[in-house]
Structure 1
Amino acid sequence: MPGLLLHANAVCQCTHAAPATIVPTQPRVLVMGQPVATMTAQIMVAGCPFTIPGPKPQPCVTVKWLMPSARVLVMGQPAMVIPAPGVGPGLCQSPEQIPQGPPIVSTVQPRVIAL
């Protein structure tokens, strides 16, 4: 499925509205001046307020991206793609790797589409 390439400064957040930051693993390939995110990049979440019943905090700390590009490789790794801004094809995860819901991407570059 084609989608827009994700990049380092794409604005995204966890299901509970905490900001998420894409930490790129390659500095060479740029889109609109920002490094393209590959499937080896980490997406870190900071400040998630989610807790489960009982006082046990279960904040989102990472996002596992589930939609790699099928044809576009960046330095040998598939690029991360998103069909359109909005709910992303990924899973926010707690420190214990418990799925918390999909991330929300509100701003991404609109020019480069990958398959």
Structure 2
Amino acid sequence: MAARFLNTSSVLMCPHGGKVQLVSANTRVKAMGDYMLRTSDKFTITGCSLNIAGVPHPCVRVQWMQPATRSQVQSDSTLTKDNIGLCVAADQAVQGTVTISFAQLRVTGV
């Protein structure tokens, strides 16, 4: 089965409904017209509604645990739909895994 690569048009969410903002420094390789995402890119979360005992404790970023091992862009591992991303709060507490609902199959180089 072909890998489903993550790119800047992929849709990622935290388990509490927060949307992951995808910002890539990659300017060379695209998947279906949008730049591929790498482990070094920025993945910030906005709109997380998690409350613990009535106190807001939102997810703020994604930390990737298992990047793609056989695919790199500009010497950095790429990300696929099968990779595990942890949603992390400001105090570094892991609050679940990221949900990936859209990824690309075709990749082109510049």
TM over 0.5: yes
1:73 to 2:68 alignment: no
Distance across 2 between alignment mates of 1:21 and 1:35: 14
Which residue matches 2:28?
A: 28
**Shift in Å at residue 111 of structure 1?**
3.4
TM-score, reference length from structure 2: 0.87
TM-score, reference length from structure 1: 0.84
1:29-61 CA-partner distances (Å, limit 9, x unpaired): 1111111101101111101111111x3211011
1:5-24 to 2 correspondences below 5 Å? 5-24=5-24
Moved over 6 A (4+): none
Distance across 1 between alignment mates of 2:103 and 2:56: 30
Aligned-pair identity in percent equals 29
Q: How many residues align?
A: 106
Distance across 2 between alignment mates of 1:108 and 1:102: 16
Which residue matches 1:93?
A: 88
**RMSD across aligned positions (CA):** 1.6
Runs of 5+ consecutive residues of structure 2 not aligned to the other structure: none
Distance across 2 between alignment mates of 1:34 and 1:21: 14
Which residue matches 1:49?
A: 49
Preserved CA contact (<8 Å) 1:67 1:81: no
Runs of 5+ consecutive residues of structure 1 not aligned to the other structure: none
